[in-house]
């Protein structure tokens, strides 16, 4: 082995499928979402949007609406700060670029076809299929929208331009509610899939297999790679 290839091989980084910072942020996010949804339902019950929909006392967080609001603000800080950290991490580590892109129409049709025929395999944990990519990107957009509409509900005067983008106060409430419904729908699918493929759940706890870091800049020249 030449000196340059030995140096290159030595500098290849090994990382976990789900690095520790990602796992910590993922589980903090899960706890924050749990608090936000439970307390949000308590606040909603105080002034419902849909007359037929009240959330049972057993599944809400907070003894009364104001108490629910305190929980909601507590969860909000965790959700927002953790979400910003996740976004910065995902972009700076190039995880988003490598894991969530590109998404091709051909891949979407093939994955949806497989799903409809119950053939969706999840043997390879290192690659997200097209449906997963869309779901993960989609839920991040919903996360941004729920924070924006939440800010407009919380401080409609200070964030008056933002509030005006949504329209009336009732429209902002509706957007905020629909984002919550989208997160709950995502979670039903997401947690079901995690339980159906337990090794994906274990990997999100332990980190999963150790991989060569393909998100790092190439450290080995292509010709040296090919020769190995």
Where along the sequence are the contacts to ligand HEM (CB under 6 A)? 22, 26, 29-30, 33, 95, 99, 125, 136, 139, 183, 187, 190-191, 194, 200-201, 203-204
Residue 148 or 183: which CB sits closer to ligand HEM?
A: 183
Least distance CB 88 / ligand HEM (angstroms): 13
Of 194 and 219, nearer to ligand HEM (C-beta) is: 194
Q: Which is nearer to ligand HEM, 139 or 153 (CB)?
A: 139
CB of 148 to ligand HEM, least distance (A): 16
Shortest reach from residue 38's CB to ligand HEM, in Å: 12
Q: Is the separation of the CB atoms in 110 and 130 below 8 Å?
A: yes
CB 86 → ligand HEM: shortest distance, Å?
8
- When the beta carbons of 48 and 81 are compared against ligand HEM, the nearer one is 81
């Amino acid at each position: 082995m030449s000196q340059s290839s030995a140096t290159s091989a030595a500098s290849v980084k090994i990382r976990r499928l789900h690095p520790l910072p990602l796992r910590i942020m993922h589980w903090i996010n899960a706890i924050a979402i749990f608090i936000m949804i439970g307390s949000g339902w308590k606040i909603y019950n105080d002034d419902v949007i849909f007359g037929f929909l009240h959330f049972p006392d057993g599944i809400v967080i907070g003894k009364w609406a104001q108490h629910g609001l305190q929980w909601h603000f507590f969860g909000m800080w965790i959700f927002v700060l953790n979400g910003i950290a996740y976004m910065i991490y995902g972009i700076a580590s190039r995880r988003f670029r490598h894991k969530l892109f590109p998404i091709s129409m051909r891949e979407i049709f093939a994955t949806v076809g497989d799903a409809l025929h119950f053939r969706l395999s999840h043997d390879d944990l290192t690659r997200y299929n097209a449906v997963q990519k869309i779901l993960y990107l989609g839920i991040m957009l919903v996360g941004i929208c729920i924070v924006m509409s939440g800010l407009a509900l919380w401080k409609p005067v200070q964030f008056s331009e933002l509030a005006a983008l949504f329209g009336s106060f009732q429209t902002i409430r509706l957007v905020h509610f629909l984002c919550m419904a989208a997160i709950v729908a995502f979670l039903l699918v997401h947690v079901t899939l995690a339980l159906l493929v337990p090794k994906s759940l274990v990997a999100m706890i332990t980190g999963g297999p150790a991989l060569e870091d393909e998100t790092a800049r190439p450290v080995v020249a292509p010709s040296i790679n090919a020769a190995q």
